[in-house]
Amino acid sequence: MMKKYSPRKNEQVMKKRRKPGKSGRSTVSRNIQIIRIARIASLLKRNCCPTAEGILKEYETLSIDEGNLLGGQYSLRTVYRDIKALKNEFGCPIRFDRRTNTYYLKDRSWDFNCPANLSESAMLALIIGGRIAEDVFPDPVRGRISRAVDEILKSNSPEFLEKTLVSSLKVFAAGGVSENPGVFSVVFEAWQTHRRLHIIYNDQHGGEVERDIDPHVLFLYLHEWRIKAYCHLRKAPRTFVINRIKNAWLLKETFKPDRRIIDSVTLDNIVSYKKIRDVKIRLTGDAVKFANANQMHSGQKVKKNRDGSFLFSIPEVPAEVVVPWILSQKGEAVPVEPPEIVEAVRKAAQTTLDSLAK
């Protein structure tokens, strides 16, 4: 006969288990719960809007120095208990959307403040991520990330992360330049906290337009920071280059992240330029290496020819993207087809030659 579940009796059993013993199981269990809670907080801060089932799957990927956290050890009851602890113990403004069965943050400015007891792998990941962020993000966001990493490191200083080791890690990433750090900071905060923005934007025709927008996606492409936002004037999603935003103000209105807009930003449709289909480029020398390292389309391929050269095939790509890349390869990337790309490269090269002859 199955025993009836009693919450009160279960609580008494749990209290007994929490008593410190020789094995220190209560401390380990609490540390493991903190790691699980931190994972939930991370998902919420990254706008992932997880379901309870999705959080349970996240638990399967967790591992710590004390041992592996196997997914089979947990159930949805564990997830609900962790969410309750996150809300009650850490003041998390977590909310549940019954329409989508997902969790989200009501207040995007909330931070998960918990003394970090990180493993060596987590420490290394934190430092590497911080170093990359320092090169990729412009100020003042760069400074905020650097200070946050330093704050966590204060209580986590294992021997393997001596000062000489940390300082010897050099990262030279291709970051985005911000011509107006103040504007970038406002846009970044709006994206992070789900606040509506009022912007003055320089359009492609040299004029200025005003928009109220909800910035759903922040991304870096071709050394430029951009946002994909819902434009309330056009009643549709639009992409804006942050360097072309002349000024920006935070509004009182907030918005909920739209998964359709977030998922719409992919490598294959980042820019709105006209795309040229079935582009083929003959590669020699170092151009092969740079072609493999440069992602212009998720379906691009590099195949070796019989004569030792390589054929670089791109399903579709804007001329504004591929032509400058071809010219940068100094003759080791020669367009084969279609004719409009061949002609575009010829004209660009001729324009450069004409400028040198003046």
- C-beta separation of 43 from 33 below 8 A: no
Residue 2 has pLDDT above 70, yes or no: no
Residue 226's pLDDT is what? 93
Domains 181-265 and 275-357 agree in fold: no
**DSSP 8-class letter at 4:** P
Which of 68-72, 133-137, 152-156 holds the top average pLDDT?
133-137
Q: Using one digit for the tens of pLDDT, what is the confidence trace for 98-112?
A: 999 999 998 878 888
Could you give the 3-state DSSP secondary structure of residue 96?
A: strand
Nearest CA-CA partner of 62 in 74, 46, 50 = 74
Domain boundaries, the chain: 27-105, 120-167, 181-265, 275-357
Residue 205's identity, in one-letter code, is H
CATH 3.30.70 assigned to 275-357? yes
Residue 27's pLDDT is what? 57
Nearest CA-CA partner of 78 in 37, 43, 111, 38 = 37
Q: Which pTM does this prediction carry?
A: 0.61
CATH 1.20.1300.10 assigned to 181-265? no
Residue 150's pLDDT is what? 73
Other beta carbons less than 10 A from residue 322's beta carbon = 25
User: DSSP letters of 144-171?
Assistant: HHHHHHHHHHHT---GGG-HHHHHT---
Q: Using one digit for the tens of pLDDT, what is the confidence trace for 312-339?
A: 999 999 999 999 999 999 999 999 999 9
- Pairwise pLDDT comparison (158 vs 232), residue with the higher score: 232
Query: Which value, to the nearest 10 degrees, does the dihedral of the CA atoms of residues 234, 269, 319, 296 take?
Result: 150
CATH of domain 27-105: 1.10.10
Residue 23's pLDDT is what? 41
Q: Using one digit for the tens of pLDDT, what is the confidence trace for 48-83?
A: 889 999 999 888 777 544 444 544 578 899 999 999
> Binning pLDDT at 50, 70 and 90, where does residue 8 land?
very low
Alpha helices in 210-265 (DSSP H): 259-264
Q: How far is CA 229 from CA 24, 95, 97, 323, 329, in A?
A: 50, 23, 22, 28, 35
> Binning pLDDT at 50, 70 and 90, where does residue 146 land?
confident
List own/partner pairs for 69-76 with CB under 8 A and 24 or more apart. 69/32, 69/35, 69/36, 76/52
Query: Which value, to the nearest 10 degrees, does the dihedral of the CA atoms of residues 122, 125, 127, 130 take?
Result: -120
Q: Using one digit for the tens of pLDDT, what is the confidence trace for 192-204?
A: 899 999 999 998 7
